[in-house]
Amino acid sequence: MLSQEDIQFYISILKGVNVIDIYRLFKTAKTKKIRAGEIYIHEGTASTKMGHIKKGLMRAYQLKPNGDEITILLRWESQFIGSYDTIMWQKPSRFIFQALEDTTLTETDYNLVQEMADRNSSIGAYRSIFQVDMLKEATDRIESFVLLSPKERYLKLIHEKPDIVNRVPDKYLSTYLGITPVSLSRIRKRIASEQ
Amino acid sequence: MLSQEDIQFYISILKGVNVIDIYRLFKTAKTKKIRAGEIYIHEGTASTKMGHIKKGLMRAYQLKPNGDEITILLRWESQFIGSYDTIMWQKPSRFIFQALEDTTLTETDYNLVQEMADRNSSIGAYRSIFQVDMLKEATDRIESFVLLSPKERYLKLIHEKPDIVNRVPDKYLSTYLGITPVSLSRIRKRIASEQ
DNA sequence: AGCATTAATTAGCTTTTGTTAATTTTTTTA
DNA sequence: TAAAAAAATTAACAAAAGCTAATTAATGCT
């Protein structure tokens, strides 16, 4: 079942799409709720489902042989989440996708979008929005890694997304920033002591 | 003027495109040669040109206030190059795009692709190829930064692209890897001494 | 509320990186 | 091909990060 909001979201991307395609898209689109801690996509699975986050926060992480968890992706309201291993290059996910808060998604199947996009340019525009959204986040992060120090990276993150520190445990934030939890703790201390 | 090769490349992505669009695309597509050292896109300009590299190697870099150059992107044969600041979010480029070798591009204008993609799903597929290509490289690099140490990052790069060390000066490679030239030199020494 | 669990901080120590500058090697070019 | 310029390496030192483990703080649960 789709809410008024969902319908508005779809209408915004469906200009020029024919009625049959709209029907197919709506029929498969679901509002999905995932509780905090729950796994959305397991490692090794090849799910092409794709969620547009309405509320909540999710992460993708990898489990290292020694048991360490490395958070590779954080996504929140108005962003897309999905196994890009599967969606982009048709491979099983190397990552585990998990909700860190109770999360509400508008879920579609990327294969359907893909198939329709190949026939319908308005759906193609939707696919493009998804890809640009992923690209924006990705290039931004690369720039953080290349141009900034770990400390600057952390400051940039809390500047751009101030609520993140209250929503994501430091142990996840730190690996997301490419450093260890111990190191992040020291960075925070250094920042605090600088006044 | 397009070569036989260029034409084949376009045909591969033009299934189902109408004749008028094909004509428009071919009319604007150019084979462009850039000599080593030459600037392709200057900082602050908003060019939507997009090159598909046939031969050669290019980089995007940023000039820091103190004069340091930071290489943020390296692109080579069969990859796309273009100001993603402009193409993706309609802003002037924060980076300088430069050929590191004599480079041959097949150049199109992204605005034309974009406009045609919004009407034509086959062109949309072409846009998608470009976006996925960018995404693949971007996510791969993020994973390098999050999961690997500088040394591992360097080893991964020379494993996946062995000729890069002979084609790109270390001072560019190092900042591309998020470290200083001095540090890369030490890493190389450490690797060599481990037998 | 109290106990158990988990997260964050701190400490001590080692390794690596950044920085600056000097030296050596390589490349360019006149 | 010799001189000049640029790149790479090395050195010395300070700053920061990784690692392991202990301690403290926060959170979750019955």
Residue at A184 is within a domain: no
Q: Which residues, in sequence order, are bridge partners of residue A22?
A: none
Q: What is the CA A36 to C1' C4 distance in angstroms? A: 21
- Chain B residues in contact with A142 by the CB 8 A cut-off are 72, 138, 141-142, 145
CA dihedral A98, A68, B149, A134 (to 10 degrees): 0
Domain of B84, in residue numbers: 4-147
Q: What is the DSSP string of chain B?
A: ---HHHHHHHHHH-TT--HHHHHHHHHH-EEEEE-TT-EEE-TT----EEEEEEE-EEEEEEE-TTS-EEEEEEEETT-EEE-HHHHHH----SSEEEESS-EEEEEEEHHHHHHHHTT-HHHHHHHHHHHHHHHHHHHHHHHHHHH--HHHHHHHHHHH-TTHHHHS-HHHHHHHTTS-HHHHHHHHHHHHHT-
Residue at A18 is within a domain: yes
Residue of B nearest to A122 (CA): B118
B189 band by pLDDT with thresholds 50, 70 and 90: very high
Q: Is the CB of A179 under 7 A from strand D?
A: yes
Residue at B192 is within a domain: no
The answer to whether the CB atoms of B84 and A143 lie below 8 A apart is no
Tens of pLDDT, residue by residue over A92-146, are 999 999 999 999 999 999 998 888 888 888 888 888 988 988 899 999 999 999 9
What's the number of domains chain B is made of? 1
The answer to whether the CB atoms of B142 and A175 lie below 8 A apart is no
- pLDDT score at A194: 76
Q: Is the CB of B152 under 7 A from strand C?
A: no
Residue at A134 is within a domain: yes
More confident site: B8 or B152: B152
More confident site: A20 or A153: A153
Residue at A83 is within a domain: yes
Average pLDDT over chain A reads: 90
Name the pTM for this structure.
0.89
Residue at A99 is within a domain: yes
Q: Is the CB of B139 under 7 A from strand C?
A: no
Tens of pLDDT, residue by residue over B65-123, are 778 899 999 999 999 999 999 998 899 999 999 999 999 999 999 998 888 888 888 88
Write down which residues 20-39 in A have CB closer than 7 A to strand D.
none
Residue at B78 is within a domain: yes
- Asked if A157 reaches chain B (Cβ–Cβ under 8 Å), the answer is no
The answer to whether the CB atoms of B121 and A125 lie below 8 A apart is no
* Residue B26 in this model has a pLDDT that exceeds 80: no
Residue at A191 is within a domain: no
Q: Is the CB of B185 under 7 A from strand C?
A: no
State mean pLDDT over B11-28.
70
- Chain A residues in contact with B110 by the CB 8 A cut-off are none
Lowest-confidence range among A18-32, B98-112, B169-183? A18-32
CATH number at residue B56: 2.60.120.10
